[in-house]
Amino acid sequence: MRITMDRCTGLRACNLQLSTLLLLALLFVAPSLSIASSLSLDEQRELYQEAKTALSKGDQSKYKSILSRIGDYPLRPFLEYTELSKRLSRLPKRDVQNFLSKHDGTPIASRLRYQWLETLRSKDHWQDYLRDYQSNKATTAQQCYYHLARIRHGDKSDAILEGVKLWSVGKSQPKGCDKLFGWLIKNNQITESIAWQRYTSSVLNHKYKLARYLKRFFTSTRYQELAEEFYSVDRNHRLVGDYTFFNKYTLKNNNQEVYEVITHGLRHLARVDATTALKHWSRYQQIHEFTPTQKNQIITALVKGLYAQEHVTSADSYLTDNLEYVDVALLEWRTREAMREAHWHDVLQWIDRMPNELQQDNRWRYWKTRALQLNSTTADKQPSPKDDTYEQLSITRSFYGFLSSEWLGYDYSMAHRKTSASSEQIAQLEQLLGFIRTRELIYHEEYYFARREWRYTTRNFSEAEWITAAHLARQWQWHNGVITSMISASYWDDVDLRFPMAFKESFQRHASQTGVPIHLLYAVARQESALAHDVTSPAGAKGLMQLMPATAKETARKNNVRYRGDYELYEPEMNITLGSRYYSQMLKRFDNNRILATAAYNAGPHRVDSWTKKTESKLPFDAWIETIPFRETRNYVQNVLAFSMIYAHHLDNNERILSEKEKNQLL
């Protein structure tokens, strides 16, 4: 979205103010830049776009002419970076050095430094590489190049140690590390003990190709035997019962690496034969001292294995006897397993076994009260309106708070606490050169660079400064910046700032066309992308409502939407068009049940089909949500439903978190 300047809270109506602030910023924050030119901000912006076009066309003459006229425009360094990056292969050392010195520490300088180091490496200019390298900005490959260059230039001791650290990780490193690693191996810097550390990590991470390669470093009988046994145990977990072999090493030398092998084998064996694993564990722990972490891992695997293999009584007894060795995640898992079976008495028992701090979490406070009522033998299983826990939770703005209000018949509490920032506070931040650049990058729709500038400028902010930054971002209508700033401030109660009404016309239009409530569409977009329309997830989902390209293409086909390619998913209008229709499809597939549709939007409809099949329509809606197998999806559904009520509040809708049909349906 290009920021318009039609509002006083936008940009165009405040040109005079912004130009004044820009001048102040340049005078006090960036004295190295020239005095402000006579051009207006709008004229500088137009010249910036013209210069970018000239650079893209290779028109150096026009670019230089524009650069001489653009004056002190804040994004001038971005033009200089773009031009300089195009001629790095000619090794313009002085120009690069000047740029890096002038803009040291800024994101754009870090970007140029990376490209410059890659160029120097490709041309074997190692003295220059050593001079311009910065460790805190280097990739793994660049670290390897740097330490190899130090070794070749006589700075060996520390470089060798750092090189060994890079070699010792339990995964394959980039090819750029091959020469450094080759030198280390050739010069006998990789000892058997160092190789063993990497070998164990590689096997534990199931990097078998790497593990087989590492065996060549073992020349002693001890390490050769250990390596073979560890590899064998990983592939055949029953071999963990070879007491003679393991005692041979552990009793004599108390080797921790051997305990890792035993731990690894027992955990895997427990998944298929927990009773045998328990027998082995009972013997090993009598004569060996395992670490608390190892004990937790083994006991957790044994309890889950026994439970899955229908030794429920044994699993519960063993867990109860070993509560001091396990973490709270296992107790939460066991409680959800009882909930999945609708064993409400057991749910209560397991909650009671949780540490007091965990019991006081809103989630488990809610479930203790809810399970009490579900466990009731009376005909009336509705929560008592006098229940103190529901009363206390109902004043919170949360999924459990909203559900508590449902049971009590109350309106939802937004627990809103408005923040404020004075015009002076905002103006003070607005003068920072990083914020001036951020504002201009947003104007030019260069959001990736805008986020980098914002993060760099705010890296040492206090809570109060972050909140002021959020107010500034709201003035710019930069919704994602507002949301992420409030997250950084850890301030959760200003719901006006944290849940902005972005792209309202598009959401209204497509809510009307699809029949999906607008507050629900807003909630999905807010959860998916924090209202950043230009982002891509690690899995490849794109835009506001985080659509996978294949899903978008199929949704467009089904709904006769003209869709030209993945790049359109970064356009809010197209993303909302397809996202709303895909969500509508999920609603239709799951009989307008928002719980199932929302879970399907996140995890896929086939998984939801599988989950509902396993629960056999025996769970109340809230128990079904709480026992969703994927933690991400469980939190996703809870957040979307809660967020939908916050947006309903913004829209003055009297919507409820769920319909009576949804609340009464067993899943």
- Residue 643 CA to residue 397 CA, distance in Å, equals 10
Write down the residue that tokens 């190295």 correspond to.
32
Phi-psi region of 536 (alpha: psi -120 to 50; beta: other; left: phi over 0): beta
The rounded distance, in Å, linking the Cα atoms of 576 and 639 is 19
Could you tell me if 239 and 268 are in contact, meaning their C-beta atoms sit under 8 angstroms apart? no
Contact call for residues 234 and 268 (beta carbons, < 8 A): yes
Helices 256-272 + 292-308 axis angle, to 10 = 10
What is the C-alpha separation between 249 and 118, in angstroms, rounded? 47
For residue 89, give Cα distances in angstroms to 85, 116, 120.
9, 9, 9
Q: Which of 80, 406, 465, 528 is catalytic?
A: 528
Beta bridge partners of 536: 542
Judge whether 406 counts as a catalytic residue. Answer: no
Cβ count near 645 (within 10 Å): 23
Full DSSP string of 10-30: SSGGGHHHHHHHHHHHHHHT-
Q: Are 96 and 84 in contact (CB under 8 A)?
A: yes
Helices (H), 360-422: 362-374, 388-393, 399-408
d(CA 211, CA 205): 10
CB atoms within 10 A of CB 271: 14
607 near 597, Cβ under 8 Å? no
Residue 542's DSSP bridge partners are: 536, 547
- The tokens for 190 are 């990789």
Report the C-alpha gap between 18 and 448 in whole angstroms.
23
Contact by Cβ (8 Å): 324, 299: no
Q: CB within 8 A of 604, min separation 6: which ones?
A: none
- Collapsing DSSP to helix, strand or coil, 536 comes out as strand
* C-alpha–C-alpha distance, residues 156 and 312, integer Å: 59
Contacts with 391 (C-beta within 8 Å, 6 or more apart), sequence order: 404, 408
Q: What angle do CA 100, 101, 103 make, to 5 degrees?
A: 65
Question: Which of 639, 654, 658 lies closest to 499 in space, CA to CA?
Answer: 639
Work out whether the CA dihedral 290, 295, 299, 305 comes out positive or negative.
negative
Cα Dmax for the chain = 87
Question: How would DSSP label each residue in 542-599?
Answer: BTTTTB-HHHHHHHHHHTT-----GGGGGSHHHHHHHHHHHHHHHHHHTTT-HHHHHH
Residue 493: phi and psi, rounded to 5, are -100, -5
DSSP 154-172: T--HHHHHHHHHHHTSSSP
- The catalytic residues are 528
